[in-house]
Amino acid sequence: MGIPEESLKRLIGLRVELDRIFRELLQPWKAGEGGAVQAVPVVVDVFETDGEIIVEADLPGVAREHIELTVLRDILILEGTKPAPAARPDVRHQCVERVAGRFRRVVELPGAADTRNIHARLERGVLRVRLPKIEERRGSRRKVSIE
């Protein structure tokens, strides 16, 4: 008798989600000018089709050359810099809400992906990352015979 497979899957999913939350909460933020913390929020959508995992990130005003995208196993790391708008000495700002500075977003992929065939495209301020799915090679449950 053991833990039912469905319960085990739910427990593993909960652990993965908690790991993601703690990783995001504890990720190091870089200090900006004068020691003030600068962090540009990056919102993402992660979804999948039968054949691929897709991550979309809103990055308005960020040029392709200011983005660094890396992947490590089942983790996608999106880093970069959003430039500040050009200074305008001839105006007095009444409201400044747009943020500029460094950003970093860590995204845990929901399944096994072929990270050698990753494709990323930045179009109209949205970065779309496509990863082909592959069959899980590790971590799957299988019965082992005992000799």
- 40 belongs to a structural domain: yes
Of 92, 66, 94, residue with least CA distance to 80? 66
Residue located via tokens 């992929």? 109
Give the pLDDT confidence score for residue 97 in this predicted structure. Answer: 80
Q: Residues of the chain with pLDDT > 70: what percent?
A: 79
CATH code, domain carrying 77? 2.60.40.790
The residue segments making up the domain with residue 62 are 7-86+98-132
pLDDT confidence tier of residue 143, bands split at 50, 70 and 90: low
144 within a domain of the structure (yes/no) = no
Q: How many domains does the chain have?
A: 1
Per the CB < 8 A criterion, the answer to whether 55 and 113 are in contact is no
Q: What is the DSSP string of 113-145?
A: B-GGG-EEEEETTEEEEEEEB----SS------
Q: Write down the pLDDT at residue 38.
A: 43
pLDDT score recorded for residue 144: 53
The three-state secondary structure class of 9 is helix
- Between the alpha carbon of residue 48 and those of residues 54, 113, 125, the distances in Å are 6, 11, 21
Please indicate, yes or no, if residue 138 is contained in any of the structural domains.
no
User: Is there a domain that residue 1 lies in?
Assistant: no
Report if residue 14 sits inside a domain.
yes
In a domain, 140, yes or no: no
Q: Is residue 143 part of a domain?
A: no
Check residues 91 and 34 and name the one with the higher pLDDT.
91
pLDDT digits (tens, 9 = 90+) for 107-131: 999 988 988 889 999 999 999 999 9
CA-to-CA distance for 76 and 105, rounded, in angstroms? 8
Half-sphere exposure of residue 132: CA atoms within 13 angstroms, side-chain side:
6
